[in-house]
Amino acid sequence: MAGKSGRQQWHGGVRTLAGDVWARLKRDRTALACLVVIVVYCLMASWGEWVYWSARVQDVVPIYQVQDFGHRYEPPSGAHWLGTDALGRDVFHRTIQGARIAFRVGIITSLLALPIAMVLGGAAGYFGGRLDECVVWLYSTVASIPSLLLILVIASVVGHGLIGVYLGIGLTTWVGLCRLLRAEFLKHRQLQYVEAARSLGAGHARIIIRHILPNLFHLVIINFSLRFGNAVGTEVILSFLGVGAEGEPSWGIMISDARLRLWQGVWWELAASIGATFFIVLAFNVFGDALRDAMDPRLRMVEGS
């Protein structure tokens, strides 16, 4: 009964924390507007994913690749909301597919970078010693290399395409969170609740996973929201340079193609791809900052007092 009651209290604490964070976010209209933008982009990406896989299953040309040379360079209209490109393809559908690629990059690179940062940062901060020295040397070395250059090298070695982008961004953007988690583990391993768990016979794995990490997981959530927009922007740059997506309408490829036709007055393809990139990166950055403020335990303590 005591264990069940404890679990109920623990779950209740989580709900209280989530409700407290949501209450803070609701008071920030800018953060709410950014959240709406993120949700809209997420729906666009989901629809684009459905279109992509439906075309593959049916073995047909997807709608965003359909060429119509009789309707090249058409400006925005009721038939084509964002106009058409040099091959008569609908820019609106291609922009949505760009959102699909952007969300793929943001999610997959996070699934690579966050576990690396959590494992290395947590182990270095908790155990210290030689392991800590090795981890510090490793992330200091990675941080000393220009990130874009390192991503380009990894993507070039792996090969052109999104696989190289996933690995390039995922294997180079874990340093900041790793450094932060290391510092937090160094602090938390000396706190009373960890000493109490250790005196009760809890092993290292249990202390790390069940006690310390739950108190630091808000840092992982905040880092995810902030790094998502950066990953999207990096993929656009790589695709613009010809290293990223191939054969798919990434925003970077759209920008690269459209800039050559801007002098002819064909502005809508460039405006669509740049605008789509700008708003999603801005939304994630602003929302990430607001989420960090809402989840800051020091701020909660000040307001509570």
Full residue range of the structural domain in which residue 286 is found:
21-67+82-304
Supply 93's token pair.
């559908």
Of 7-11, 74-78, 128-132, 139-143, the least confident: 7-11
Query: Could you tell me if residue 12 is inside a domain?
Result: no
pLDDT, position 262: 83
pLDDT, position 17: 67
pLDDT, position 264: 80
What angle, 0 to 180 degrees and rounded to 10, lies between the N-to-C axes of helices 29-58 and 91-127? 110
Is 60 exceeded by the pLDDT of residue 221?
yes
Q: Specify the pTM.
A: 0.85
Mean pLDDT of 16-35: 86
From residue 78, alpha-carbon distances to 62, 81, 106, 258 in Å are 21, 6, 32, 21
Q: Which of 264, 268, 260, 265 is nearest to 240 (CA)?
A: 260
Is 70 exceeded by the pLDDT of residue 15?
no
Query: Could you tell me if residue 238 is inside a domain?
Result: yes
pLDDT digit string, tens, across residues 102-145: 999 999 999 999 999 999 999 999 999 999 999 999 999 999 98
Residue with tokens 């010809």: 242
Query: Could you tell me if residue 255 is inside a domain?
Result: yes
Query: Could you tell me if residue 257 is inside a domain?
Result: yes
**Of 114-118, 202-206, 208-212, highest mean pLDDT:** 114-118
What DSSP letter does each residue of 123-156 carry, written as one string?
A: HHHHH-HHHHHHHHHHHHHHHHS-HHHHHHHHHH
Is 70 exceeded by the pLDDT of residue 9?
no
Query: Could you tell me if residue 14 is inside a domain?
Result: no
Is 70 exceeded by the pLDDT of residue 12?
no
pLDDT digit string, tens, across residues 38-48: 999 999 999 99
Predicted confidence band of residue 11 (pLDDT cuts 50, 70, 90): very low
Is 80 exceeded by the pLDDT of residue 4?
no
| Count of structural domains within the chain | 1
Predicted confidence band of residue 13 (pLDDT cuts 50, 70, 90): very low
Query: Could you tell me if residue 214 is inside a domain?
Result: yes
Percent of the chain having pLDDT more than 70? 91
What DSSP letter does each residue of 177-228 carry, written as one string?
A: HHHHHHHHHHHHTTSHHHHHHHHTT--HHHIIIIIIHHHHHHHHHHHHHHHH
CATH code for the domain of 190: 1.10.3720.10
What DSSP letter does each residue of 83-105 carry, written as one string?
A: -B-TTS-BHHHHHHHHHHHHHHH
Query: Could you tell me if residue 73 is inside a domain?
Result: no
pLDDT digit string, tens, across residues 167-203: 999 999 999 999 999 999 999 998 898 999 888 888 8
Query: Could you tell me if residue 8 is inside a domain?
Result: no
